[in-house]
């Protein structure tokens, strides 16, 4: 035990957590300046013709986060969605998704978030997800995970256990993403659970950590979509892997569950 507040994660991460919090604080006005604003321009980054809105907010938020991290943590690398990667000389690299849930952001829904993860060269060791419009923040380090609404004391999060598939609550970005095979695999899980909610993006993982959601099944993720969320899910006692049980840090097909038992049940269904 240490003298640090209980919500401050492992002591060796305290300086990094402080930097992540400052970066998330800087991201808020950069994001909110564009949220529900008139004339929000949506570029189309996806050359295949699909819909991937990118907004001025996405770029402004990444710039705000990078400015903080480059000042506070000059030896760390930064891997973001929008700008070129900055190499690390410390062995640590920040992995940033400035606006996760750009479709939610575009329509004005409150479920988007700012993702700031820290990778030690082998795995994500700390993650923070901030929701500027709602005014709440989730963070974790694989050992513990926390949630706080603005002005309220942090609460420790624990994933829900003892829930079988028939009672489980599932979140996913399907039916929007994924190949036909991936969608069929997702539907095998969906058809067995109690309740499915779509399109919550990072909020789904945070709510899994908080015990409200039991499963997240997604495909087509990038590293920056998932790295900040891994230490939050694992810190709450959840399990997060690829669909075949591998390391999820590079994204792709990702399965998160509140318990090892439920994870195994879902993984078997995804395998066909």
Distance CA 153, CA 221 (A): 32
Query: Taking the complex as a whole, how short is the minimal distance between the CB of residue 120 and its own copies, in angstroms?
Result: 30
Contact region for its own copies (CB under 8 A) — 12-20, 198-206, 243-251, 262-270?
198-206
Query: Taking the complex as a whole, how short is the minimal distance between the CB of residue 139 and its own copies, in angstroms?
Result: 16
| Strands in the chain per DSSP E | 43-44, 53-54, 77-80, 93-100, 113-119, 124-131, 136-140, 145-149, 155-156, 169-172, 195-198, 215-221, 239-242, 252-257
Contact region for its own copies (CB under 8 A) — 4-12, 195-203, 239-247, 254-262?
195-203
Among 5, 29, 74, 108, binds its own copies (CB under 8 A): 108
Contact region for its own copies (CB under 8 A) — 11-19, 118-126, 194-202, 219-227?
194-202
Three-class SS of residue 20? helix
Among 4, 36, 43, 87, binds its own copies (CB under 8 A): 36
Interface of this chain with its own copies, residues 62 to 101, rule: CB under 8 A:
none
Among 4, 15, 85, 107, binds its own copies (CB under 8 A): 107
Distance CA 213, CA 245 (A): 20
Query: Taking the complex as a whole, how short is the minimal distance between the CB of residue 36 and its own copies, in angstroms?
Result: 6
Both tokens of 257, joined, read 């569950």
Determine if 133 is a binding residue for its own copies (CB under 8 A): yes
For residue 7, give the DSSP letter: G
Contact 224, 79 (CB under 8 A): yes
Non-local (6+) Cβ contacts of 181 within 8 A are none
Interface of this chain with its own copies, residues 164 to 193, rule: CB under 8 A:
169, 171, 176
Identify which of residues 105 and 243 has a Cβ nearer to its own copies in the complex. Answer: 105
Q: Which of 159, 136, 124, 128 is nearest to 233 (CA)?
A: 159
Identify which of residues 157 and 226 has a Cβ nearer to its own copies in the complex. Answer: 157
Both tokens of 108, joined, read 């004005």
Positions touching its own copies (CB under 8 A) are: 36, 38, 51, 103-104, 106-111, 131, 133-135, 169, 171, 176, 194-200, 203, 207, 210-213
């Amino acid at each position: 035990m240490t003298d640090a507040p209980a919500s401050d994660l492992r002591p060796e991460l305290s300086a990094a957590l402080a930097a992540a919090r400052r970066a998330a604080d800087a991201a808020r006005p950069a994001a909110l300046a564009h949220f529900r604003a008139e004339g929000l321009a949506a570029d189309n980054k996806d050359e295949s013709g699909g819909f991937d809105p990118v907004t001025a907010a996405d770029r402004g938020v990444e710039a705000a986060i990078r400015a903080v991290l480059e000042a506070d943590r000059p030896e760390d690398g930064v891997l973001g969605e929008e700008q070129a990667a900055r190499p690390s000389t410390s062995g640590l690299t920040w992995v940033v998704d400035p606006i996760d849930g750009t479709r939610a952001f575009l329509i004005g829904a409150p479920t988007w978030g700012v993702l700031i993860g820290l990778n030690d060269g082998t795995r994500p060791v700390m993650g923070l997800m901030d929701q500027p419009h709602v005014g709440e923040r989730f963070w974790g380090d694989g050992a513990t995970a926390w949630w706080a609404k603005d002005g309220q004391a942090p609460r420790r999060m624990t994933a829900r256990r003892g829930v079988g598939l028939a009672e489980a609550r599932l979140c996913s970005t399907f039916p929007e993403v994924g190949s036909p095979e991936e969608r069929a695999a997702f539907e095998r899980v969906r058809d067995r659970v109690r309740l499915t909610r779509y399109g919550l993006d990072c909020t789904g993982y945070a709510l899994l950590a908080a015990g409200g959601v039991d499963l997240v099944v997604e495909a087509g993720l990038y590293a920056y979509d998932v790295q900040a969320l891994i230490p939050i899910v694992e810190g709450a006692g959840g399990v997060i892997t690829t669909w075949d049980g591998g390391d999820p840090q590079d994204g792709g097909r990702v399965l998160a569950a509140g318990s090892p038992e439920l994870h195994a049940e879902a993984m078997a269904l995804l395998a066909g």
